[in-house]
Structure 1
Amino acid sequence: MSSSNTTVQTINVKSSDTAFFHNNVDFCVGTGRFGLALTKEYLDELRFVQEEIGFKHIRGHGIFTDDTAIYHEYEEDGITKVEYNYTYLDRIMDEYLKLNIRPFIELGFMPKDLASGTQTIFYWKGNTTPPKSYERWCDLVVALLTHLMERYGEKDVLTWPIEVWNEPNLPGFWEHADMKEYCKLFKETFTAIKELNPAFKVGGPAICGVKDAEWIKGFLDFCKENELKPDFITRHHYTIEFPEADGHYDYSVLMDEEAGFANLQSTRDIIDSFDEYKGLPIHITEFSSSYTPKGVIHDTNLNAALMARQLSRLGDMNESYSYWTFGDVFEETGVPFSLFHGGFGLVAAGSIPKPTFWTFKFYTDLKKLGEGCVFKNDNAVIEKTAKGYAGVLFNESSDESLDIKLSLEDIAKGEDADNEYTLILKTVSPKTTNPLKLWHDLGEPATPNSEQTKLIKSAAFPQVTSDRLTASEGSISFDQTLDPETVVYFELSKSKVKSDRGYSYERTINTR
């Protein structure tokens, strides 16, 4: 991609500057249904993600669906009895803990034996009807949590957030999108969990996009009337208009980002309008650009740049925000037909990182190094560090380059005013980091062989460049041009060259 238009932006930063930036990028990430964690490819992808990023929690559907096989009813002496089977649950949770990730438990969907109806959703037929017995539903939830505490320790399990159901404001996910029935489900579930142990953190209503203001207010009105105090509120956030389907794929038109942020703020405002719930944390338990697992935008550099801006702003009004999802092992609309199919994942099959993966990696690295945000706008987040500065720069435009002229003032003082610094730049752009293009140029093999996978993966990593800069009167300036749809991570840190006796870098590279 080339651009003949360039926008110039000057950024001047002082170490005493401050800007609000709540960076909780690594708190949680989404997954397909829990049963997929029984497969090797799923665990390979999650292992790669955890090694590079290291999310604290993982949230997915289907902890109670029949492929995890927890809930069973049987007849004995003419009496219907219930038994639980934790074989698969334990196998899944054991793998999660090995990878140092804990569940953000979404309670759903309904086991077939416990369901009041036959409505299902997705290729894997998750039942989305209320329980035929709320007593047995609550017994199931309490038994699950009791088992988890016995196996993994009460202290640990009590830190695992619990969300009641998923998107009950959509009729496909909750029969008739019945708010009254959902509120009953929440009350019964919330009460049962708090009676088991009041230290559990429980929230809802996990709504997405339709009548969200009505649902948030209605839910809190119900909680107030019934003297319930959820520990947090959950909702979802996607940034596209209704997509156009073509074959196996969905093509999306982006919505106005500012309208999306305003919608999130409206949820904050509704919660804070209740004296009882003012300041209650909001967890976005799903977010991405497109809400379809066939959304081709997910595989692109544009998505990486879009998510860079989202991550810079989502903490303004939310405690956490969970990207949907970490990997492309996902079957809501069926088994994918091809390697790059618009899947939600940060990584594709073969643990091939998509450009958006690096956006999350960059913000995670910034969180580890950062000691306070000094600058934030629609193209940059910059933090001071123990040795200098670090930041994420991004350009969402698809047709204009962005030339950022960055001046980092009072980086060094006194005797250190003229010290040398190392500048590390990691660039993710259509030119430098574009596995989608290489796959296309190879002829779009649906399931690449091992050599093709290795080649595609080699094109999926950032371009790393470096320089040595000298502070002048305590300040350092450098220019960075961002091509369209580009994300750049930089670290500027004080360093000193300590050459071995007789070694000269300058003589080495100038041998002719």
Structure 2
Amino acid sequence: MADLLPGAWRACVGTGRFNLSLRRDHQESLALVQREIGFTHIRGHGLFGDDVGVHRPYTHGGEHRVRHAFTYVDQVIDAYLELGVRPFLELGFMPHELASGEQTIFWWKGNVTPPRDHDEWAALVRATIGHLVDRYGIEEVRTWPIEVWNEPNLKDFWQDADQAAYHRLYEVTAKTIKEIDASLQVGGPAISPGSDEWMTDFADFVATRGVPVDFVSRHAYSSHPARHVPFATLQDLAPAETLLEQFATPRRQLAGGPLEGLPVHITEFNTSYRPDNAVHDTARNAAYLAPVLAGGGDVCDSFSYWTFCDVFEEVGIPTSILHGGFGLLTHRQLKKPTYHLYAFMARMGSRIVSRGEDHLVTRDERGRVTALAWALQPRRIRLPLPSGEHFVVRSTVNEEYGNLRRAWLEMGSPHSPTARQLDALRELAEPYRTHQRAAGGVLELSLAENEITLVEASPVIEEAPPWPLL
């Protein structure tokens, strides 16, 4: 029996900060993504940011008190669930009036200092998770992984990258969550690339202290140091294999230790870690990431593309519709080549027929064979077809076809396209499609530079009458 294709590639996707989910453009983009790709979970920053308004301290009768308000939380999560995607909760950043310091990150100033009062932080966590359980039911919330903080190994994301302070935060948080229900999923340490010792230190800490942990998490990016220009960043990329190596690192590190066998979630990954790097908008990005999507599920339980759309403001409000944002979609739902990579994967069958360094072939329960092929440089490949006649549809994205960025550049790189320009870009961003009737055997394909191709072959059941119709 053929191996099943792991679903790790669409088990989660990233988004901007929590508050952005209230915007129309964000909601329309998520609806499109869910319709054509269908992610299982969604993760973003800022659940406890001041713009979400959960932590609302006040003084009454001379006493310090806190009201926990969930007006925006409910709207966002209701919208997620209506679209068939569940939260992957990230607990952070620190509410300003609970923070021990003033250090912030991003244009929207997420506070990255420890709580001044860990009991008040625990009350915030208890109130939030308790509210979600009351509103959505314990069986539902048990399916939502809860991650403690984001990239605490970086000074920008956690004051002084203080590991002991993070461990204390994690312990308080995890124990609070387990007091609500022991089967709720909690984990960390959500580290960025470059500080791998944090994972083993985390494992030693939770084991020594008897702290609950249900999964481990880290991030993966393959870009080299940034070279900044106005409103953009330039970076070279390491080979795509480095992403798969990063995906595999937690299992390797934890082997033989107290956390061996725990689920591993890569809660952010992409080529560049900058939201203003044009590589995200290119056909190269799609061809580069194709082997990562095809093989990532072999080494981890989920890997979350950062992010599904360009409604995103970490370095400020974007100045152009194509600005190198992380998203699979631009603002106004223009599809980038990497969007098509995910949409192609969504059309694949569930059982693997064959796989190689440049292709993945699957079959579904009705006999439809699908093949995803990719190339950074022009090449010819041979794909197997079962015996019998097939109706074959080929969808292609490369430097010439399905390339939103090329069309936009040729249009003059309009920062704010008109309605007519948007319509033209939307059409030109679609893959190039051909079809043919082919006999079984081997299908030979020529792939161009930076190409991804989806081939769908369905058995022909002839229903035409024996007499001519023309």
* Fold shared, TM-score > 0.5 on shorter chain: yes
Counterparts of residues 221-232 of structure 1 (less than 5 Å): 221-232=204-215
Task: Tell me, yes or no, if structure 1 residue 285 matches structure 2 residue 262.
Answer: no
CA RMSD for the aligned pairs? 1.5
Q: Distance in 2 between matches of 1:49 and 1:407?
A: 30
- Give TM-score scaled by structure 1 length: 0.89
Specify whether residues 161 and 337 from structure 1 end up closer, same or farther in structure 2 by C-alpha distance, changes over 3 A only.
same
**Deviation at residue 273 of structure 1 after TM alignment:** 2.6
1:447-476 per-position Cα deviation (integer Å, ceiling 9, x unaligned): 1111111110101111121111123xxxx2
Q: Distance in 2 between matches of 1:344 and 1:365?
A: 23
1:56-104 per-position Cα deviation (integer Å, ceiling 9, x unaligned): 1110000000000110111112211111111111111121122111110
Q: Distance in 2 between matches of 1:310 and 1:159?
A: 25
Asked if 2 retains the 8 angstrom alpha-carbon contact of 1:170 and 1:210, the reply is no
Task: Tell me, yes or no, if structure 1 residue 394 matches structure 2 residue 394.
Answer: no
Task: Tell me, yes or no, if structure 1 residue 306 matches structure 2 residue 288.
Answer: yes
Asked if 1 retains the 8 angstrom alpha-carbon contact of 2:94 and 2:114, the reply is yes
Structure 2: tracts of 5 or more residues without a match: none
Residue equivalent to 1:451:
420
- Give TM-score scaled by structure 2 length: 0.97
Counterparts of residues 225-264 of structure 1 (less than 5 Å): 225-264=208-247
Q: Distance in 2 between matches of 1:39 and 1:360?
A: 23
Counterparts of residues 149-160 of structure 1 (less than 5 Å): 149-160=133-144
Asked if 2 retains the 8 angstrom alpha-carbon contact of 1:340 and 1:348, the reply is yes
Given candidates 380, 383, 402, the residue that maps to 2:362 is 383
Q: Distance in 1 between matches of 2:209 and 2:307?
A: 35
Q: Distance in 2 between matches of 1:189 and 1:236?
A: 21
Identity %: 38
The more displaced of 92-101 and 29-38 is: 92-101
3-state DSSP class of the match of 1:347?
coil
Asked if 2 retains the 8 angstrom alpha-carbon contact of 1:37 and 1:92, the reply is yes
Residue equivalent to 2:456:
491
One-letter identity of the residue aligned with 1:150: D
Structure 1: tracts of 5 or more residues without a match: 1-15, 413-418, 508-512
Q: Distance in 2 between matches of 1:388 and 1:51?
A: 21
Asked if 2 retains the 8 angstrom alpha-carbon contact of 1:379 and 1:393, the reply is yes
Asked if 2 retains the 8 angstrom alpha-carbon contact of 1:229 and 1:277, the reply is no
One-letter identity of the residue aligned with 2:459: K
Asked if 2 retains the 8 angstrom alpha-carbon contact of 1:29 and 1:326, the reply is yes
3-state DSSP class of the match of 2:233?
strand
Residue equivalent to 1:466:
435
Residue equivalent to 2:444:
479
One-letter identity of the residue aligned with 1:170: L
Q: Distance in 1 between matches of 2:403 and 2:249?
A: 37
**Deviation at residue 348 of structure 1 after TM alignment:** 0.5
Q: Distance in 2 between matches of 1:406 and 1:88?
A: 50
Q: Distance in 2 between matches of 1:256 and 1:56?
A: 28
Give the number of equivalent residue pairs: 469
Residue equivalent to 1:99:
83
3-state DSSP class of the match of 1:266?
helix
Specify whether residues 335 and 246 from structure 1 end up closer, same or farther in structure 2 by C-alpha distance, changes over 3 A only.
same
Asked if 1 retains the 8 angstrom alpha-carbon contact of 2:334 and 2:429, the reply is yes
Task: Tell me, yes or no, if structure 1 residue 407 matches structure 2 residue 384.
Answer: yes
One-letter identity of the residue aligned with 2:210: E
Asked if 2 retains the 8 angstrom alpha-carbon contact of 1:114 and 1:133, the reply is yes
Q: Distance in 2 between matches of 1:314 and 1:470?
A: 32
Counterparts of residues 162-177 of structure 1 (less than 5 Å): 162-177=146-161
Q: Distance in 1 between matches of 2:130 and 2:136?
A: 10
Task: Tell me, yes or no, if structure 1 residue 295 matches structure 2 residue 277.
Answer: yes
Task: Tell me, yes or no, if structure 1 residue 363 matches structure 2 residue 380.
Answer: no
Residue equivalent to 1:24:
8
